[in-house]
Amino acid sequence: MNFAEDKSIYLQIAEKIEDAILSGAFEEESQIPSTTEFSVNYKINPATALKGISLLVDDGIVYKKRGLGMFVCPGAKEVILSKREKDFFDRFIRTLLNEAKKLSMSKADIIAMIERGYGNEQNRN
């Protein structure tokens, strides 16, 4: 994890867990590592790790089983997908346009690049 990123650490932890759920590493209804395991592994304050996990609890992505630990909610993947789609414009498109402006790239240049990207994907498949 790169904490130099311009984002609070607790948000990065929440995102890491979401990524793990999306990739299937943490399956729905399965247990995720404890707050302590996250904080030790990433060398972050336990309160920060707890804050990141609490965020996921609020979003209905993980839930607490008393005395057992944290588990992935059924339907968590769906929740993350729709949340990420909503963020997609701000996180990627806006940044893309800002960078393109800096480099004086035209709209046609960008569209051509996106086409090329899809082309590469198809060749790989």
Partner 1 sequence: MSKIEIKSITKTFGEIAALKEVSVTFEENHIYGLLGRNGAGKTTLLNLLTGKLFPDSGEILIDGERALENDRALSKMYCMTELNLYPEKMRVKEAFRWSAEFYPDFNTEYANSLCEKFELKTNLKIRNLSTGYHSIFKIIIALSCGTEIVIFDEPVLGLDANHRELFYKELIQNFSDAPRTFILSTHLIEEIASIIDRVVIIKNGKIIMDDEVQNVISMGFSVSGSADAVDEYIKRKRVLGFDTLGNFKSAYLLGKSDDVPSSLEVGKLELQKLFIQLTNA
Nearest to 17 by CA among 45, 47, 49: 49
Phi and psi angles of residue 31, each rounded to the nearest 5 degrees, phi first:
-85, 140
Q: Does 101 bind partner 1 (CB under 8 A)?
A: yes
Kindly indicate which of the ranges 16-24, 34-42, 70-78, 104-112 contains the residues binding partner 1, using the contact rule CB under 8 A: 34-42
Contact flag: residue 76 with partner 1 (CB under 8 A) = no
Select from 11, 19, 25, 47 the one that contacts partner 1 (CB under 8 A).
47
Instruction: Please count the CA atoms within 13 angstroms of the CA of 104 that sit on its side-chain side.
Output: 0
List contacts with partner 1 (CB under 8 A): 3-4, 6-9, 35-36, 39-48, 98, 101
